[in-house]
């Protein structure tokens, strides 16, 4: 499971088995997890995060969108 970004308490990553799905990123902090689609950036699933924190996570993902998509392409297109 490649980690793409670590920032603050968050780890942004994807699973090597995610290739069959559209580009997305998983985010974890402590025992909380979420999955966000990349186009457009929006929450797909979440467990444990409050809505306000999910809004912050969406902004975080938007800010790292190009890095995430580049990592996705590099990993799955090679």
pLDDT digits 0-9 by tens, 63-76: 999 999 999 999 99
Q: What is the reported pLDDT for 1? A: 78
Q: What is the reported pLDDT for 12? A: 98
Contact between 68 and 4 (Cβ < 8 Å)? yes
| Coil vs helix vs strand at 44 | strand
Q: What is the reported pLDDT for 55? A: 97
- What pTM value is reported for the model? 0.94
Rg, Å, the chain Cα set: 12
Contact between 11 and 32 (Cβ < 8 Å)? no
Q: What is the reported pLDDT for 78? A: 73
Task: Spell out, as residue ranges, where the chain has pLDDT lower than 70.
Answer: none
* Tokens 């997305």, located at residue: 24
């Amino acid at each position: 499971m490649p980690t793409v970004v670590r920032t603050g308490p968050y780890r942004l990553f994807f699973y090597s088995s995610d290739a069959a799905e559209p580009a997305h990123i998983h985010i974890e902090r402590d025992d909380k997890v979420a999955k966000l689609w990349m186009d457009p950036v929006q929450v797909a699933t979440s467990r444990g995060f409050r809505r306000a924190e999910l809004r912050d996570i969406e902004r975080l993902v938007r800010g790292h969108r190009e890095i995430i998509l580049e990592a996705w392409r590099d990993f799955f297109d090679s």
